[in-house]
């Protein structure tokens, strides 16, 4: 398992580094204004997740400097100066400067939090919060941790919120009848509707920089494929990566490439 980069329409994938054997990797994210990507990883099955940074041209990853462990799922402010992430054994949300300084806890209750996403306009953070029944719902807060708003209210789970480039819509993954599908809603939770249908599970939506496409991953009996579709759910097309398993897509700032976790 490693972090790869591929052209947005597919082609030969480029591996950024040789990972530690049996290392777990997830959620590659491009760092705004810097030639780097972040990702979450662990050195072994029983090791805690940490946040790493790697040059987009490749090389040796380095740890993001924070004393919070575990730490995972970094999402960057649009100016690249701060990030939000899941930290500590309680899985709370924290923000910090890009150098690890000025850490601020954003959530205080005992619930588990996951998958934060900083809005492109810099004003809000969307995230998933676990409910007493074990399901997950999507919320938003201001970047200082105030003004919490619940966007989804179902007995099942909604996860993996992803902001559109204009911050007016949120794509997400919802579980219905044992399968995961891609949905989209307005930034205030209204007008939610389903984009993908079928027998396969679809997860991890990611917007293109012009807002016209969504990349996502599709779980099939033959493996995990990267896909893209128009933002209205039409023209679903496989992105050739040359790998049997490709997941967690993230469009580059210029929209020409997609970073992802891959495994042959």
CATH, residue 16: 2.120.10.30
| Tokens 């099942």 -> residue | 156
Query: Please, are residues 216 and 249 in contact by the beta-carbon 8 Å criterion?
Result: yes
Backbone angles phi, psi at 103, to 5 degrees: -75, 135
Query: What pLDDT, on the 0 to 100 scale, is given for residue 22?
Result: 63
- Which of these, 36, 96, 95, 93, lies nearest to 62 by C-alpha position? 36
Query: What pLDDT, on the 0 to 100 scale, is given for residue 129?
Result: 98
Cα pseudo-dihedral 192, 196, 197, 198, rounded to 10: -150
| Tokens 């967690």 -> residue | 248
pLDDT tens, N- to C-terminus, the chain (264 residues): 899 999 999 999 999 988 876 678 999 999 999 999 999 998 777 889 999 999 999 999 999 999 999 999 999 999 999 999 999 999 999 999 999 999 999 999 999 999 999 999 999 999 999 999 999 999 999 999 999 999 999 989 999 999 999 999 999 999 998 899 999 999 999 999 999 998 899 999 999 999 999 999 999 888 999 999 999 999 999 999 999 999 999 999 999 999 999 998
Structural domain boundaries enclosing 71: 2-263
The domain total for the chain is 1
CA atoms within 13 A on the CB side of 99: 2
Query: What pLDDT, on the 0 to 100 scale, is given for residue 72?
Result: 97
Query: What pLDDT, on the 0 to 100 scale, is given for residue 21?
Result: 65
pTM of the model: 0.95
- Which of these, 87, 1, 40, 10, lies nearest to 257 by C-alpha position? 10
Cα pseudo-dihedral 133, 139, 143, 144, rounded to 10: -50
CA atoms within 13 A on the CB side of 10: 12
């Amino acid at each position: 398992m490693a972090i790869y980069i591929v052209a947005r329409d597919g082609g030969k994938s480029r591996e950024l580094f040789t990972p530690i054997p049996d290392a777990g990797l997830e959620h590659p994210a491009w760092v705004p204004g810097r030639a780097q990507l972040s990702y979450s990883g662990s050195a072994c099955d029983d090791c805690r997740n940490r946040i790493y940074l790697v040059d987009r041209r490749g090389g040796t990853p380095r740890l993001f400097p924070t004393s919070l462990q575990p730490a995972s799922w970094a999402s960057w402010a649009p100016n690249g100066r701060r990030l939000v992430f899941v930290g500590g054994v309680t899985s709370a949300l924290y923000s910090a400067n890009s150098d690890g300084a000025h850490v601020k806890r954003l959530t205080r209750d005992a619930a588990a939090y996951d998958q934060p996403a900083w809005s492109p306009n810099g004003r809000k953070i969307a995230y998933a919060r676990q409910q007493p029944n074990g399901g997950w719902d999507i919320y938003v807060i201001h970047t200082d941790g105030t003004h919490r708003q619940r966007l989804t209210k179902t007995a099942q789970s909604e996860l993996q919120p992803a902001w559109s480039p204009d911050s007016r819509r949120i794509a997400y993954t919802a579980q219905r009848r044992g399968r995961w599908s891609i949905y989209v809603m307005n930034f205030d939770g209204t007008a939610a509707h389903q984009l993908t249908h079928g027998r396969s599970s679809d997860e991890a939506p990611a917007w293109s920089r012009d807002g016209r496409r969504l990349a996502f991953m599709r779980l099939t009996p033959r493996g995990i494929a990267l896909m893209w579709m128009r933002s209205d759910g039409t023209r679903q097309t496989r992105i050739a990566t040359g790998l049997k398993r490709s997941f967690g897509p993230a469009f580059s700032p210029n929209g020409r490439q997609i970073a992802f976790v891959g495994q042959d």
